[in-house]
Chains A and B, each alone.
Chain A
Amino acid sequence: MSALVTCKGIGCRLGGQLVLRGTDLTVAAAESVALLGSSGSGKSTLLRVIAGLELPERGTVTIADKLATRSGRLLIPPHRRGIAMLFQDLALWPNLSVAGNVCMGLSGLRLTPAQVRARMAQTLARCGISDLARRRPGTLSGGQQQRVALARALAMQPKLLLLDEPMGGLDLLTRQAVLQEIARLRTELGFGMILVTHDPAEVHGLCNTLAVLEERKIVEHGPLEEMKTGARSALGKAFAQALQSIG
């Protein structure tokens, strides 16, 4: 399988603090990676580096065989990388309607207004929120907001979807519904995924590989089934145990 994203020797500082040091990660096309790590280990920063939102001091990011970032230089801007992101706080623009959020999310694609409308209608229908098109994010429930954020991300037809703990504030039932929705859309559209999470249920439902970030670098990365029995790191072992208890 060809690599969709390759991070090599990423070194990154935030506010003078070293967050990532020589981090390597390779994600194959249509691979779905669960990125694990203790709080403050640099998971979100790694996602932001891949998205092009953070500039690393060292290392390279290659996307679909094209060099996207090289030691402090952004060679491909975020919106030209074919990557969408689901933020922890969803980052919906509160003064725009659901349709407005999705349409504005397509600004970077150079589509005609008719194409934008068609893409928006198609994506809202796909995510089951066509009836919410005129509503504003503040008037929606947590689960509905989640779907709007997902629709905005998927409308740009990304090759890779980055999810930064997006289901933290949801109740169990809504979380399960959103997980099923993402899994269905992934099967339908075939995009790759990197999911930052602490929840074994999310990993079980969505991911096929597991990567563990410790001491500011990826210490192990492999297929989920292999990791369940052969994890080496402490966090990997604990997570594998939790996964086995789910089944």
Chain B
Amino acid sequence: MGKHVRAVFRFCLVAGVLCLALAPALPLVFSALARQSAEPANSTAFRHAMLSSLRLGAGVSVLALLIGLPTGLLAALYAFPARRPLLLFQAFPLLLPSFLPCIGWSNLAAARWLAWLPAVDGFAGCLLVLGLQSAPLPLLATWAACQNLTASQIDAARLHGGEKSVLKLSARACIPVATLAALLGGILSLSDPGAPLIFGVRSVATEIRVQFSAWHDYDLAGRECLMLAGLVLLLTGPLLLVGLRSLATAALARQTRPVIPYPHPVLSRLALAGLGILLFVAAMLPAFGLCLPAMQNPMFARAGQKVAATASPTLIFAGGAGVVAVTLATLLALATARCPHGQLAVLAVLLALLASPPALAGIGVSRLATYAPAQFDWLTRGDLTVALALGLRFLPVATVGMMRAVGSMPVSWLDAGRVHGVAPAKILYRVILPYLTAAIVASLLLVMVLAAADITTTQFLQPVGRQSLPVAIFTVMANSPDGLVASLCLLYLAWVAVMLAAAAQLPRLWKWKRSPA
């Protein structure tokens, strides 16, 4: 195959995958733009909800940045005990549906012997829970950005100006990335209905759900989702344009000698304390809150029945989403492997996709299902529909992971294959795919956990009688005994912890990957 033919093939592949990723939203976008609904999208209630959501999103971004940036810097630069598991479990809050920590905090506030804790409720409660939940995003982004500084750059800074100089240099390199990651956290909180519903905050995500449930007006929901997506893109677009290159540099691996954590007597302890406190406040405290009703009135037998009933759909939705996302992400990563501009363009489109409200795709596909002939029910109304929609929703997460892995693969392996006449397919399955296995499995687990935690897309698309576990918890939490809800939540927490622990074992299983060759 000639160079140009290969380039055209790659372009078509990337364009095809991106079109597929945008496809679920298109039916609603077209119908919303083409038709007029009886209800105006910019009603007073919706405008209030939009303003409240924007305030919440901005607050979440600021809080996440203030917590995530310094903690991420210290965690990346300094050595301390249990560094690896502490860093890994920072991702724990990110992988939970936001209503779980909310229930935990509410339970803590309700416990009499914990009356000294400040009440977590309303807008402030929402801000605290979502801010703590989003803090790992800038934290992990800062950590990743620091990995792109070389060990010798840090050594030079240390020699010339001590730790102050090291922190200054690293902060300068990490601030754009951390800011964008915090902004992403804020944007994602805009489309999260869990926390606002529990703390009684009128947000745009809850408003869209409530209005759609009441009117069942696809065009109105479409226009509301479009207004939200437009506003998000308008506010973040310029920042994205400026900072995307830094984000891509941080997110995508380079072959450098990475920073070696330095054992500093004070800053190492500070790093340990920062990560420990964040883990305690963002994950352990709400988890303890979730345990309280289960300790007083354990209902694990009933919860077990519920889990058994929802296990199959949960695993099928999550596993299917994982397979879809990782397959498409691997194709995107390999197709853009030697093209930085292509990688930037793909990241920009996918970030815009991630920033759009999930209801847009959820309602869009259900709209498509109302028009599609019955022969297509397997595609528009089945388990596959949910898996496909969730897989496309979390495609950006898997793509970043796969681009990092592909970027860390030496180009000379492929060149050696060409010199020796090894067929590209053979190189793919004997060298590239085995090398990428760890990243593939890690991305699969990550997307599975994120997809399982999603309630918006799943609720709109799940076939009758096929509820996932988080949707079941979300549905029963208002009118079921606290003990049952708490037991269900604890079982869900256990599943997330098991998946994270499995992800932590991956580097040990693929030791050869770190071969010096």
A pairs with B: yes
- Chain A residues close to B by CB (< 8 Å): 48, 51-53, 55, 77-80, 83-85, 87-96, 104-109, 136-140, 142, 145, 152, 156
A80 to B415, CA, bound (A): 14
Closest to B414 in A: A91
Name which of B201-209, B282-290, B509-517 contacts chain A: B509-517
Question: Which residues of B lie under 8 Å from residue A80 when comparing CB positions?
Answer: 421
Which of B415, B416, B435, B511 has the most chain A CB atoms inside 10 A of its CB?
B416
Q: Kindly state whether residue B419 has any CB partner on chain A within 8 Å.
A: yes
- Nearest A residue to B510 via CB reads A95
14 contacts between A and B (CB under 8 A): A51-B419, A52-B419, A83-B419, A87-B415, A90-B517, A91-B410, A93-B413, A93-B416, A93-B431, A94-B513, A95-B431, A106-B420, A107-B421, A108-B421
For A89, the chain B residues whose CB sits under 8 A away are 410, 412, 517
Q: Mark B204-217, 1 if CB is under 8 A from A, else 0.
A: 00000000000000
* Residue B302 at the chain A interface, CB threshold 8 Å: no
Q: Are A91 and B413 in contact, with the CB atoms below 8 A? A: yes
Would you call B517 and A137 a contact (CB within 8 A)?
yes
Q: How far is the CA of A92 from the CA of B512 in the complex (A)?
A: 12
Residues of B within 8 A of A (CB): 3, 410, 412-413, 415-423, 426, 430-431, 434-435, 511-517
Inter-chain contact B410/A138, CB cutoff 8 Å: no
Least Cβ–Cβ distance between B343 and chain A, in angstroms:
15
B415 touches A104 (CB 8 A): no
A78-B421 in contact (CB<8A): yes
Query: Which residues from B are CB-within-8-Å of A108?
Result: 420-422
| CB-nearest residue of chain B to A136 | B512
If A108-B422, A138-B511 touch, whether A95 touches B435 (CB-CB below 8 Å) is yes
Chain A neighbourhood of B418, CB < 8 A:
52-53, 77-79
Q: Roughly how many angstroms separate A83 CA and B415 CA in the complex, as a whole number?
A: 13
| Neighbour of A84 across the interface among B417, B419, B511, CB < 8 A | B419
Is the beta-carbon distance between B431 and A145 smaller than 8 angstroms? no
Name the distance in Å between B517's Cβ and chain A's nearest Cβ: 4
Question: Measured between alpha carbons, how far is A55 from B3 in the docked complex, in Å?
Answer: 9
Residues of B with C-beta under 8 A to A91: 410, 412-413, 415-416, 517
3 pairs of A and B residues whose beta carbons are closest in the complex: A108-B421, A138-B515, A79-B421
> Bound state CA distance, A90 and B415, in angstroms?
11
> How far apart sit A105 and B421, CA to CA, in the bound complex (Å)?
7
Does B517 lie within 8 Å of A104, measured CB to CB?
A: no
Min distance, Cβ A49 to any Cβ of chain B, angstroms:
13
Q: A95-B431, A96-B430 are in contact. Are A156 and B415 (CB under 8 A)?
A: no
* Closest beta carbon of chain A to B105's beta carbon, Å: 47
Please measure, in the bound complex, the distance between the C-alpha atom of A89 and the C-alpha atom of B408, giving whole angstroms.
14
List 18 other contacts, CB 8 Å, given A79-B420, A94-B515. Answer: A78-B421, A79-B422, A83-B419, A84-B419, A85-B419, A87-B415, A88-B412, A89-B412, A90-B517, A91-B412, A91-B415, A92-B515, A92-B517, A94-B517, A104-B417, A105-B420, A145-B517, A152-B416
Known A-B contacts A95-B435, A96-B431; A53 and B517 likewise in contact (beta carbons under 8 Å)? no
The answer on a CB contact under 8 Å between B430 and A104 is yes
Interface centre among A84, A85, A145 (most CB of B within 10 A): A85
* Residue of chain A at shortest CB distance from B433: A95
Q: Which residue of A lies closest to B426 (CB)?
A: A107
Residues of A within 8 A of B515 (CB): 92, 94, 136-139
In the complex, how many angstroms separate the beta carbon of A162 from the nearest chain B beta carbon? 9
Question: Are B421 and A109 neighbours in the complex by a CB distance under 8 Å?
Answer: yes
Interface of B (DSSP majority class): helix
Provide the residues of chain B in CB contact with A96, threshold 8 Å: 430-431
Q: Is the CB of B419 within 8 A of A79?
A: yes
Which residue in chain B gives the minimum CB-CB distance to A107? B422
Inter-chain CA distance A52–B419, complex, in Å, is 8
Question: For the complex, what is the distance from the CA of A138 to the CA of B512, rounded to whole Å?
Answer: 6
Give chain B residues whose Cβ lies under 8 Å from the Cβ of A136.
512, 515
Bound complex: CA of A246 vs CA of B511, how far in Å? 43
CA distance A208 to B122 in the complex (A): 82
The CB with the most chain B CB atoms within 10 A, among A48, A53, A77, A142, is that of A53
Interface contact A107-B420, CB-CB below 8 Å: yes
Known pairs A93-B413, A95-B434, A96-B430; A138 contacts B516 (CB<8 A): yes
Using CB atoms, name the residue of chain B closest to A80.
Answer: B421
How far apart sit A106 and B419, CA to CA, in the bound complex (Å)?
Answer: 10
Q: Is B422 within 8 A of A138, CB to CB?
A: no
Q: Kindly list chain B residues whose C-beta atoms are within 8 Å of the C-beta of A85.
A: 415-416, 419
How close is B7's CB to chain A, nearest CB, in angstroms? 13
Interface centre among B422, B511, B512, B517 (most CB of A within 10 A): B517
Chain B residues, Cβ within 8 Å of A107:
420-423, 426
Residues of B within 8 A of A106 (CB): 420
Cα separation A53 to B516 with both chains bound (whole Å)? 24
- Smallest CB gap from A158: residue in B: B419
The chain A residue sitting closest to B431, CB to CB, is A93
Pick the contact of B420 from A52, A142, A152 — CB < 8 Å? A152
User: Which residues of B sit under 8 angstroms from A92, Cβ to Cβ?
Assistant: 515, 517
Q: How long is the Cα–Cα vector from A94 to B436 in the complex, in angstroms?
A: 12
Q: Determine whether the beta carbon of A77 is less than 8 Å from that of B421.
A: yes
> What separation, in Å, do the CA atoms of A88 and B416 have in the docked complex?
11
* Cross-chain contact B415 with A95 (CB below 8 angstroms): no
Q: B430 contacts A93, CB within 8 Å?
A: yes
**B410: chain A residues within 8 A (beta carbon):** 89, 91
Q: Please give me the residue from chain A that is nearest to B437 by CB atom.
A: A95
| Residue from B419, B430, B517 having most chain A Cβ neighbours under 10 A | B419
Query: Which residue in chain A gives the minimum CB-CB distance to B413?
Result: A91
| B423: chain A residues within 8 A (beta carbon) | 107
CA distance A106 to B516 in the complex (A): 23
With contacts A55-B3, A80-B421, A85-B419 taken as known, whether A104 is within 8 angstroms of B435 at the C-beta atoms is: no
> Could you say which residues of chain A place their CB within 8 Å of the CB of B434?
95
Query: Could you say which of A53, A90, A93 contacts B419, with CB atoms under 8 Å apart?
Result: A53
Q: Which residues of the partner chain A approach B511 to less than 8 Å between Cβ atoms?
A: 138
Contact B422 A104 (CB under 8 A): yes
CB distance from A89 to the nearest CB of B (A): 6
CA distance A140 to B426 in the complex (A): 25
Write the nearest CB–CB distance from B481 to chain A, whole angstroms: 53
Q: Indicate if the CB atoms of A95 and B512 lie closer than 8 Å.
A: yes
Query: What residues of chain B lie closer than 8 Å to A93, measured between beta carbons?
Result: 413, 416, 430-431
In the complex the two chains form, what is the Cα distance from A140 to B516 in whole Å?
9
Query: Given the complex of chains A and B, what is the CA–CA distance between A33 and B420 in angstroms?
Result: 22
Docked Cα-Cα span, A92 to B515, in Å, equals 10
Residues of A within 8 A of B514 (CB): 138
Q: Name the A residues within 8 Å of B419 (CB-CB).
A: 51-53, 78-79, 83-85
CA distance A91 to B517 in the complex (A): 6
B3 contacts across to A, CB distance below 8 A = 55
Q: B209 CB to closest chain A CB, in angstroms? A: 48
Q: Which residues of A contact B422 (CB under 8 A)?
A: 79, 104-105, 107-108
Residues of A within 8 A of B517 (CB): 89-92, 94, 137-138, 140, 145
The smallest beta-carbon distance between A198 and chain B, in angstroms, is 19
